[in-house]
Amino acid sequence: MFHAFVFYWLFSFVSVWAQGREKLPNPLGEGTTVFTLIGTSIQAFLGIVGIIALAVFIYAGITWLTSAGNPDKIKKGKDAMVWTAISLAIIFSSYALVTFVISGFVK
């Protein structure tokens, strides 16, 4: 019985406290739609992909420069650069396609 009284006493003031508070602002901004949220997520993902691609390019360059004439290390560095460039081309073309499709839905 005592626990029920304490529980009621603690949570009976919640409605009174909530009445004096202001409405919280939307952190995503006013008028945020699903499409703008998807677009923002894709842009954030592309930023991360760009950072990773830069790191792979730097790794490939260091591998190539420190190969000391070893044909296996030279091939490894060149292959890393080529595959990174190909993957960036695929990712950016898919971004262009998704942007085109989403802009068609928004209008």
Torsions phi, psi of 95, nearest 5?
-65, -40
pLDDT at 67: 92
* pLDDT in the model for residue 94: 84
Give the pLDDT of residue 8.
65
**pLDDT for residue 9:** 60
Q: Are 49 and 91 in contact (CB under 8 A)?
A: yes
Give the per-residue pLDDT at 20.
Answer: 58
Summarize pLDDT for 86-95 with one digit per residue, the tens.
Answer: 999 998 888 8
- Residue in 58, 36, 55 with CA at minimum distance from that of residue 106: 36
Q: Roughly how many angstroms between the first and final C-alpha of the chain, as a whole number?
A: 61
Alpha helices (runs of H) in the chain, residue ranges in sequence order? 2-11, 14-19, 34-65, 71-106
Q: Within 10 Å of residue 75's Cβ, how many Cβ atoms? A: 13
This prediction's pTM:
0.62
Residues of the chain with pLDDT under 50: none
